């Protein structure tokens, strides 16, 4: 899908960002996008026709200063962003997803996901969830699970709602993009492994989150979160040095023009550094990998309104740009 980008003043924070673009009939290529909506083809700039955004991230310490200099070089060949297709900015090898990381979001979900036979009042269930969140903070134990790269799609692509998905829901998230391998890194070093940040809408089918046939097993993230296209990503990777701080960014999602999510990352239980460090204690995080940091309050379960054919979602995060996706029902 070809889109008209936002005005130059609202593309993203900082002088440049990374993107993966393509012309009408051409292959996708890594691009430097400037703050005034100009594009530099990085295959030419780096004299490498096989270059990708992930390739740049794999040598981020060398690539980052070269990109900064290139963005400031008025003589570098560039052209307008308009007319290019914007793809997901990177193809990761691994996707780490954070659950239950916004206090109010978890409380709202706990009230909405009422188990059969639970006749307690909403106030009692809300108090129970608040106590659970306080205990999680005291125990300092984030919740991370694995997503599939095949669920990723572009920031302006249509999202196909599978016929089996009875309760498809939105979850806008801040995403950290890894730029240096990370394994068992301490919290105070974790952000040094982050190259930049982007946006994800981590769609979830609420009807299949829990295995009703085997409740002792718990959540089924494969079924509920990993349909093709269930993770619109991008549009850009904004370098970490252009993002002043990640502890007070605004996440806003509108459904058909109506604001549904509008919350600050201040409500996170565990910050970005803690999430990256935690994931690295078990796995080795690789350049280009994504760490999704959870979604704030205001999802469809809270509003009693789930996604359906024709819905349009507009998601934005402070300094990282905006994405727009349209929901399309799967045809048999």
Compare 138 and 49 and report the one with higher pLDDT: 49
Q: How far is CA 139 from the centre of its chain?
A: 26
The C-alpha atoms of residue 280 and residue 282 are separated, in whole angstroms, by 5
In this predicted structure, what is the pLDDT of residue 9? Answer: 44
Q: Is the pLDDT of residue 187 over 90?
A: yes
Question: Top-level CATH class of 95-105+141-329?
Answer: alpha beta
3-state secondary structure of 255: strand
Most distant CA atoms of the chain, gap in Å: 69
Compare 123 and 255 and report the one with higher pLDDT: 255
Compare 212 and 234 and report the one with higher pLDDT: 234
Percent of the chain with pLDDT over 90: 76
* R_g (Cα) of the chain, nearest Å: 20
Q: Which residues of 241-251 are buried (b: 16+ CB within 10 A; e: fewer)?
A: ebbeebeebeb
Model confidence at 117, pLDDT cuts 50, 70, 90, reads low
For the ranges 19-23, 214-218, 236-240, 327-331, which has the lowest average pLDDT?
214-218
Q: Residue 153's beta-bridge partner residues?
A: 232
Q: What is the pLDDT of residues 295-304, one digit of tens each?
A: 999 999 989 9
Spell out the alpha helix ranges (H) of the chain. Answer: 42-45, 53-58, 60-72, 103-112, 122-139, 187-190, 221-225, 272-282, 300-303
The C-alpha atoms of residue 206 and residue 302 are separated, in whole angstroms, by 11
Q: What is the pLDDT of residues 259-289, one digit of tens each?
A: 999 999 999 999 999 999 999 999 999 999 9
- The stretch 36-56 carries a mean pLDDT of 96
Q: Is the pLDDT of residue 94 over 90?
A: yes
In this predicted structure, what is the pLDDT of residue 4? Answer: 46
The alpha carbon dihedral of 319, 171, 221, 332 has a sign of negative
Domain extent listing, the chain: 8-86, 95-105+141-329
In this predicted structure, what is the pLDDT of residue 114? Answer: 61
Model confidence at 6, pLDDT cuts 50, 70, 90, reads very low
In this predicted structure, what is the pLDDT of residue 110? Answer: 65
Q: Look up residue 170 and give its two tokens.
A: 């939105």
């Amino acid at each position: 899908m070809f889109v008209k980008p936002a005005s130059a003043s609202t593309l993203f924070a900082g002088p440049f960002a990374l993107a993966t673009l393509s012309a009408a009939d051409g292959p996708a290529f890594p691009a430097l996008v400037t703050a005034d909506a100009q594009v530099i083809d990085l295959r030419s700039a780096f004299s490498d026709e096989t270059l990708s955004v992930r390739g740049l991230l794999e040598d981020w310490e060398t690539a980052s200063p070269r990109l900064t200099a290139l963005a400031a070089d008025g003589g570098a060949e560039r052209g307008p962003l308009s007319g290019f297709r914007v793809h997901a900015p990177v193809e990761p090898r691994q996707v780490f997803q954070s659950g239950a990381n916004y206090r109010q979001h978890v409380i709202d979900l706990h009230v909405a996901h009422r188990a059969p036979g639970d006749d307690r009042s909403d106030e009692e269930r809300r108090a129970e969830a608040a106590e659970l969140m306080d205990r999680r903070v005291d125990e300092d134990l984030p919740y991370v699970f694995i997503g599939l790269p095949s669920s990723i799609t572009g920031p302006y692509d249509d999202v196909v709602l599978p016929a089996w998905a009875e309760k498809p829901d939105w979850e806008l998230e801040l995403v950290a993009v890894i730029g240096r391998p990370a394994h068992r890194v301490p919290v105070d070093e974790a952000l040094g492994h982050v190259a930049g940040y982007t946006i994800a809408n981590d769609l979830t089918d609420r009807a299949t989150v829990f295995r009703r046939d085997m409740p002792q097993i718990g959540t089924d993230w494969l079924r509920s979160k990993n349909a093709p296209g269930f993770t619109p990503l991008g549009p850009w990777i904004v370098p970490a040095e252009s993002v002043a701080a990640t502890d007070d960014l605004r996440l806003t999602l509108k459904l058909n023009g109506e604001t549904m999510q509008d919350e600050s990352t201040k409500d996170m239980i565990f910050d970005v550094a803690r999430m990256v460090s935690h994931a690295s204690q078990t796995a080795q995080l690789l350049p280009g990998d994504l760490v999704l940091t959870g979604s704030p309050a205001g999802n469809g379960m809270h509003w009693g309104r789930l996604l359906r054919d024709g819905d349009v979602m507009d998601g934005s995060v402070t300094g990282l740009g905006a994405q727009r996706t349209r929901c399309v029902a799967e045809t048999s």
